[in-house]
Amino acid sequence: MVTRDTKYFLLLNVGHFLDHYFMLIFATVAALALSAGWGMSYAELLVYGTPGFTAFALCSLPMGILADRYGRDRMMVVFFIGIGLSSILTSFAQTPLQMGAGLLCIGIFGAIYHPVGLAIVTARWKKTGMRLAVNGIWGNLGVGCAALVTGVMIDLAGWRAAFFVPGVISILFALPYWAVSRDIEAMAVAPAGGAAATKPAYYGPMWRVLLCVYMTAVLGSIVFQSSTVALPEIFEERLVGLADRIAAIFSSLKMESASVIGGLAFLVFATASLAQLVTGYLLDRAGARPTLALVTIVQIITLLMMPGLTDLAVLAVALGVMLGVFGQVPVNDFLIGTTASQQSRSRAFGFRYMVSFLAFSGALPLIAIVQSNWGFDGLFYVLMSCALIILLGSRVLLSSPSMAAQAKS
């Protein structure tokens, strides 16, 4: 029998999936339909998506404050309805300006999920690390499915359906979420504040923990965005021989090297996303400090190995890089969830994601500048330096829970 608690967690995961899914519909629509239909280049169209992504970042903190004040589950209902209605309205856009306005609304309501949904996950259940890992994989699925499903929708029913249909689906999820979450506190599966309420982890003074979180958020976001955006182009440059050999093997399927490279990139991303499960397991058993050290050491070693590699070697080492990059994602959320107070947790998540999403925007210029001057080998060294700073900074800022607890007493 599926318990109400299980349904609650499932709906929170669906929310994470939809959040990332809606934010990436436009990228595929612009590339496959609007560029030809509206007579605009892809670069020109992307300008109208910028306000939505900016709102997605800047509105995270206000949404967290609203959730702490008026209730997180109420804000989640607003999320499902608001982002759904925004997507439906976007489907009726007749001009680029109307499209930009619709995307802005999607970004505003999309900003609700991370400060609110993650605060709920870390406040309610035990085994917070594993819960965050599973929730993160649902978000990754939203990223992966956005291009695929949107492309299919465009082929079957046109680009307007690609916005309209998911919008209706999101609104339909609001009712079951409201029904499941109503009076959910009375169930008391875990003590208020989750596992941390009975045995809180202590990593040192709060200012040092938050400084570590925000340092890791900025530098980790640069590493994450740079590596995920650049990987297909890196493969295009360095997997030519391997891609040609694979294409020759599957010549009967008329598979070109570009399709092979895209498939290999997807394989690396899909496999690496499972690293979050390992991270979640380690967070629940060893804590944040050693887990963060492990994933950053993996990044440092593999990024140092990347320069000069080609074909199978670059594929194998790139998988190692992405395992470390994806594995780092749940650590900051775990730190906030186990140290921030129940009353201020949503705003703490809100500020964390505002910082992270703003740092994302700096990754693309970084890639362009470094790659044009020093090639991808130069980018590997820059990203390795970011990982090294995270490793050293976290060792200084975070105390092990046992040592910190002794110092506190």
According to CATH, the topology of domain 4-195 is: Growth Hormone; Chain: A; (1.20.1250)
Helices (H), 190-344: 206-238, 240-249, 257-273, 275-286, 288-305, 311-339
Mean pLDDT of 195-203: 51
Model confidence at 196, in pLDDT bands (50, 70, 90)?
very low
Mean pLDDT of 103-127: 87
* DSSP E strand boundaries for 56-150: none
Question: Is residue 51 within 8 Å of 90, Cβ to Cβ?
Answer: no
Per the structure block, which two tokens stand in for 24? 């990436």
pLDDT tens sequence across 130-159: 888 888 888 888 877 887 788 888 888 888
Average model confidence (pLDDT) for the chain? 82
Distances (CA, A) of 379 to 289, 291, 296, 369: 27, 25, 17, 9
pLDDT of residue 42: 66
pLDDT of residue 255: 55
pLDDT of residue 376: 85
CB-based burial label for 96 (10 Å; 0-12, 13-18, 19+): middle
Q: How many CB atoms lie within 10 A of CB 185?
A: 11
pLDDT of residue 190: 46
Mean pLDDT of 327-355: 79
> In this structure, what are the phi and psi dihedrals at residue 401, rounded to the nearest 5 degrees?
-55, -40
Superfamily grouping for domain 206-408: MFS general substrate transporter like domains (1.20.1250.20)
pLDDT of residue 403: 54
pLDDT tens sequence across 29-53: 877 788 777 887 766 777 788 888 8
Q: pTM of the entire structure? A: 0.75
Mean pLDDT of 165-184: 91
How is residue 127 annotated by DSSP? S
d(CA 61, CA 55): 11
pLDDT at position 405 over 60? no
Mean pLDDT of 109-128: 85
CATH 1.20.1250.20 in the chain is located at 4-195, 206-408
Question: Is residue 396 within 8 Å of 205, Cβ to Cβ?
Answer: no
